[in-house]
């Protein structure tokens, strides 16, 4: 009888673990903005899995990949502290689906995928969130679809190089001035530290 009970408990635990478990192999997760579920448009993010990430100096987040009932799901858990112990909330997203993403201030339809999956000719920004002015250490990526203009800043991939411009619009003309960052390390005082890049497939 004792042996049977051990066998029963072992089988129960086996089924429980196989039903929902964390997948540790992926290194990055990408959140891609979509327009009408078929056009990539807007601001997206690619984050490392399993790290306590300081997101835009606003809060901290851990991204995990799980398998629930045979389906791959990405879980984001948000925290109030740099140790990721003061829980705020969490969200689950099925991968490779067109769905509503209420994460990272995106508030848009989009898709979640495993790996670093930037759109072609996207302007990428590798942000080093643990540093003041040194472009090294822990980081994540923000990316902007080509020719996207947000808050009077325009992001373009031209001849394989990232071009970031400050734009001014009036009734008489539209004028953009290139910000001379290029691919050098952007200092913390200018919104960094980080590197701009241009992703070409």
Instruction: Say what the pLDDT of residue 9 is.
Output: 34
Question: What are the pLDDT digits (tens) for 112-168?
Answer: 999 999 999 999 999 998 888 889 999 999 999 999 999 899 999 999 999 999 998
Question: What are the pLDDT digits (tens) for 158-195?
Answer: 999 999 999 987 655 578 899 888 888 998 877 789 99
Instruction: Say what the pLDDT of residue 20 is.
Output: 46
Instruction: Say what the pLDDT of residue 161 is.
Output: 94
CA angle, corner 15, sides to 10 and 19, nearest 5? Answer: 150
Instruction: Say what the pLDDT of residue 25 is.
Output: 56
User: Measured on CA atoms in the order 143, 146, 148, 152, is the torsion positive or negative?
Assistant: positive
Report d(CA 39, CA 41) in Å as an integer: 6
Mean pLDDT of 17-32: 67
Instruction: Say what the pLDDT of residue 6 is.
Output: 37
Q: What are phi and psi of 129, to 5 degrees?
A: -80, -10
In eight-state DSSP terms, residue 146 is T
Average pLDDT, the chain: 84
> Domains of the chain: which residue ranges?
20-198
Specify the higher pLDDT residue, 7 or 95: 95
b/e for 98-116, b at 16 or more Cβ within 10 A? eeebebbebebbbbbbbeb
Mean pLDDT of 84-104: 93
When pLDDT is cut at 50, 70 and 90, the band that residue 32 belongs to is: very high
For residues 148 and 42, the answer to whether their CB atoms sit within 8 Å is yes
Is residue 13 pLDDT above 60, yes or no? no
């Amino acid at each position: 009888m004792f042996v049977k009970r051990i066998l029963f408990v072992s089988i129960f635990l086996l089924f429980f673990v196989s039903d929902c478990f964390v997948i540790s192999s992926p290194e990055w997760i990408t959140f891609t903005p979509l327009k009408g579920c078929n056009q990539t448009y807007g601001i997206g993010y690619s984050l490392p899995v399993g790290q306590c990430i300081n997101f835009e100096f606003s809060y901290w987040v851990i991204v995990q990949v799980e398998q629930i009932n045979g389906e791959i799901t990405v879980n984001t858990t948000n925290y109030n502290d740099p140790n990721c112990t003061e829980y705020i909330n969490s969200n689950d997203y099925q991968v490779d689906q067109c769905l509503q993403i209420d994460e990272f201030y995106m508030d848009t339809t989009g898709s979640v995928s495993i790996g670093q999956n930037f759109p072609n000719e996207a302007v990428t920004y590798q942000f080093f969130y643990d540093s003041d002015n040194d472009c090294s250490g822990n980081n994540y990526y923000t990316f902007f679809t080509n020719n996207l203009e947000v808050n009077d800043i325009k992001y373009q991939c031209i001849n394989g190089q990232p071009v970031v411009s400050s734009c001014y619009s009036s009734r008489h003309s539209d004028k953009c001035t290139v910000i001379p960052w290029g691919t050098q390390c952007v200092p913390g005082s200018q919104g960094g530290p980080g590197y701009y890049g241009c992703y070409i497939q």
